[in-house]
Structure 1
Amino acid sequence: MSAAFPSCEKATLPLIILPFNKSTYYIIFLQQHRQSTVKILPTFKYCRTQRIIVILHKKFKKLKKHSMKRAIICVIALSAISVMAAAKDEDSSKARNSSFTIEGYGETGVMKTSEGYNAVSPHVLAGAEYIWKYGWSAFGEVEYADAADITQLFAQKTFTEWAAVRFGKMTVPVGISNLLDNPMDHFSVSLPLGETDILPENCNLTGISFLGSHKMCNYEAQILLANDSLALAMRIENSPADNLSIDASGYYDGKFIVSSNLRFSSDAVIARAVATYSQRANAVHCGAEAGYDLFHGLPKANSRLFAFVRYDFSNHKENCHSAKIGINYLPLEQIVIKAEYERNILRNSSDNNLAIGVGISLP
């Protein structure tokens, strides 16, 4: 009979016959070409390793001692060949998997305050990543707000999933504003000032980073150059469920900043919360937002409409409570149109703001 090996390779004539016990012998074939067949007698049984097919047969005579020695030598040689071939295939696969990707986003808007209409400064970011063989990759990012700036430019070597090293200019992984500044990652027209005011003045520094992931955890530790001195930063993220993420981060340059945030997302609900403390600014910021997709469950609803609420507290300059209510409409996955009403309550005054904005994210 003929037995097909759908994902294995063509076998040559038997190279080795080895006794397994008194009634069972190994016949070993070296694989050469993919998606072919090999003739096997009806009484044969076979198993497959990475590059060697082993066939068990019960009707061979016992081999002589000198044949056994030659067979053992052949087995060792074949094992070495198979390991080298597998390594070569893995390297070739890595080379074939080289890729180049482009990403970015842009957002802008208009806000009405008690002083009149003000434009929300356009914010555009574009990045590119190139991945090539042997675990090497490079990433560059340019940001435009008031002026153009290279915010990230680094090379990375990935050894395993849990161990990688990165060196160059990179984002300090502290606070939710640094990590989730894409317009798709927050409901507000603009990021809350409470947190951005107390984060480091420059959130993109040059240094070396050690990062990786293990099971449900992602982690990163950085040694950075900040104002002619060394700074340390770290972040640990835990995802106990696919739709839930909790992380803690810290930064130290003589004074420290600590932050923690939580993110939850499902088909209909998205919720985020953050708490940040800065010793340098001697200030705290806390914020939370939650949105519900009003189109969830509707037949043929290809777009999404989130109604959301948000609350922020900050004591950077004075105690400020801010409450927002609004909508996010996503006609496409990469486009969001935002509208919100905001009320800020200060110690001796309050103000009301209206804002609309649009954001685009690629890919």
Structure 2
Amino acid sequence: MKNTVFGLIIPALMMGTITTTAQENAGDSVMNHAMGNRLSVGGYGEVALSRNFYSDNEFRYSQPEKHKNDPAHGRFDIPHAVIYLSYDFGKGWKMGTEIEFEHGGSGGAAELEADEFGEWEQETEKGGEVELEQFWIQKSFANWANIKAGHIVVPVGLTNAHHEPLQFFTVYRPEGENTIMPCTWHQTGVSFWGRTKNFRYEVQMLAGLNSDQFTRSNWIKKGSASPTEYEVANKYAVAGRLDNYSIPGLRIGMSGYYGHSIGNSSPNEAEGATATYKGAVAIGSLDFTFKRFNWIVRGQADYGHLGDAAQLADMYNRKTKGSPFHHSSSMRNVSSNAYAIGIEAGYDIFSQIEATRKQNQKLFIFGRYEQYDPYASQMGANSYDYTKVQRMAVGLNYYPLKQVVVKGEFSKRFMKTPYNDEPSINIGVAYEGFFL
């Protein structure tokens, strides 16, 4: 039997009850392999070229008039390169891993500097990150009852649940959800999930987010990252997701998150503000995917609330300057509310051409609109309206094969006055598939 391609549902989802080809949950991707094979090896990757026709100066928002006519800037990038490994031990026991290199990974070296009196120096050779995005061990009792423990994807929002590059039209992941939430959101915890008839469901217990990592421009996005060798779990959180596949070609999902964030850092303090306030994070999300009649339409709406947001301004500098949790005073105001909405639609024009249809090639012409604001509740004396963004994109996705896509788009961020709009052109190529 041929290996299953990422983003497609295993035939009938191994149950014989669902025939739609709407999206499969990304948390299951590691296990999407040919029936009967114990070892699966796969992955996905993206290469991108961008030309941004706006200033990249760090003061372009604080001094917009001064940087209105700054030159364009360009970038080459490898947003994600991922290796999937999974193994079926038998008797319902499985393991899965996902190793991700973001923006080419990272590198360092020790060098002997001849022009600096022969001193050895530590050099940062390149940026990027290397992350273990998934590592879990699972026991399956039945299709409707599976327990997974380890480092897992938190499927809150459309992009986190479906983040592989063939699951969105744009060259980079949808910007709104990628701004206000961790993306891809992954944490260590325990998950109970299953499938029954036309539903897939999942409930997770996780460590809480760390409010010391929240920022004005990205709300809770950095809160799941841990600079320590372990994930601090002074506070806990729960996340859940429910997907319905009742209508052929349509998947409708809802997801949510709730947990406390203040005081979820090291050391755990017995007194003071961190012991008094909770910093409750609550997120609700609705999303859908429609794949039928040569159309693909995706959309999502996310809203989040942060309790005790006003108190965070007095907590950022409670750490020493060398602390990995330290933030400058200019970033200490964090909004109590954030939101992101988005919709995209694409039509396969090759479906109307017999020759390309026979060759299984596809060419989607698409459009996308989104609006988001990580600082929806302005705080403090200053205004930061540059965080409220409307973005539109139009472009093409060409599939010479099911596993490969070539993307091109023109996009523009529409900013509030007096900030300057931000147009760009992005070109990319991506793949996702199994090799074994």
* TM-score normalized by the length of structure 2: 0.59
Q: Is the 8 A contact 1:267 1:296 kept in 2?
A: no
1:74-153 aligned at under 5 Å gives the runs 97=36, 99-114=38-53, 115-145=72-102, 146-153=128-135
- Counterpart of 1:273 in structure 2 is 299
Runs of 5+ consecutive residues of structure 1 not aligned to the other structure: 1-95
Equivalent position to 1:286, from 329, 341, 344? 341
The one-letter amino acid of 2:41's match is I
SS at match of 1:197: helix
Give the RMSD, CA atoms, in angstroms.
Answer: 1.7
Equivalent position to 1:218, from 200, 220, 225? 200
- Counterpart of 2:412 in structure 1 is 343
CA apart distance, 1:325:
0.5
Between the aligned partners of 1:261 and 1:120, the Cα distance in structure 2 is: 29
Between the aligned partners of 1:199 and 1:278, the Cα distance in structure 2 is: 9
Aligned length: 268
Equivalent position to 2:255, from 231, 243, 249? 249
Q: Mean alpha-carbon deviation: is it higher for 322-331 or for 273-282?
A: 273-282
Between the aligned partners of 1:218 and 1:128, the Cα distance in structure 2 is: 23
SS at match of 2:340: strand
Structure 1's 243 and 126: CA in aligned 2 closer, same or farther, altered over 3 A? Answer: same
Structure 1's 132 and 242: CA in aligned 2 closer, same or farther, altered over 3 A? Answer: farther
The one-letter amino acid of 1:332's match is L
Equivalent position to 2:367, from 293, 305, 309? 309
The one-letter amino acid of 1:180's match is H
1:55-74 aligned at under 5 Å gives the runs none
Which is greater in Rg?
1
The one-letter amino acid of 1:239's match is Y
CA apart distance, 1:267:
4.7
The one-letter amino acid of 1:106's match is G
Q: Is the 8 A contact 1:198 1:283 kept in 2?
A: yes
Runs of 5+ consecutive residues of structure 2 not aligned to the other structure: 1-34, 54-71, 103-127, 209-231, 261-280, 307-334, 376-386
- Counterpart of 1:31 in structure 2 is none
1:349-360 aligned at under 5 Å gives the runs 349-360=420-431
User: Percent same amino acid at aligned positions?
Assistant: 31
- Counterpart of 1:237 in structure 2 is 243
Q: Is the 8 A contact 1:98 1:133 kept in 2?
A: no
Structure 1's 102 and 242: CA in aligned 2 closer, same or farther, altered over 3 A? Answer: farther
* TM-score normalized by the length of structure 1: 0.71
1:84-128 CA distance string (max 9 Å, x none): xxxxxxxxxxxx945111121000211111222122343111111
CA apart distance, 1:357:
0.6
The one-letter amino acid of 1:137's match is K
- Counterpart of 2:115 in structure 1 is none
The one-letter amino acid of 1:139's match is G
SS at match of 1:132: strand
Q: Is 1:164 the equivalent of 2:146?
A: yes
The one-letter amino acid of 1:324's match is A
The one-letter amino acid of 2:394's match is I
CA apart distance, 1:220:
0.3
CA apart distance, 1:197:
1.9
Between the aligned partners of 1:166 and 1:113, the Cα distance in structure 2 is: 42
Q: Is the 8 A contact 1:312 1:322 kept in 2?
A: yes
Runs of 4+ in structure 1 over 3 Å off = none
Between the aligned partners of 2:37 and 2:400, the Cα distance in structure 1 is: 33
Structure 1's 276 and 110: CA in aligned 2 closer, same or farther, altered over 3 A? Answer: same
Q: Is the 8 A contact 2:160 2:184 kept in 1?
A: no
SS at match of 2:160: helix
- Counterpart of 2:327 in structure 1 is none
Q: Is the 8 A contact 1:97 1:133 kept in 2?
A: no
